[in-house]
A = this chain, B = another copy of it.
Amino acid sequence: MEKKLFEEKISSQIIFEGEIVNLYFDKVKLPNNRVATREKVTHPGAVGIVPVTRNNEIILIRQFRYPVGDVLIEIPAGKLGKGEPPYECAKRELEEEIGAVGGTLINICTFYTSPGFCNEILYLYLALDFEEKENSLDEDEFLQVFRVKLGDSLDMIKSGTIKDAKTIIGILMARDYIGNL
Contact = CB atoms under 8 A, between A and B. Distances in A.
A114 B110 contact: no
Given A23-B16, A139-B32, A165-B169, A113 B114 contact: yes
A140 interface: yes
A160 interface: yes
A65 B23 contact: no
A115 B65 contact: yes
A120 B41 CA distance: 13
B5 A71 contact: yes
Interface residues of A, number: 73
Given A5-B63, A15-B15, A63-B5, A68 B109 contact: no
Interface hub of A41, A112, A118, A164 (most chain B Cβ within 10 A): A112
Nearest to A107: B160
Interface in A124-181: 139-140, 142-144, 157-158, 160, 163-166, 168-169, 172-173, 176
A1 B62 CA distance: 11
B65 A157 contact: no
Interface string A22-48: 010110101110101111111100100
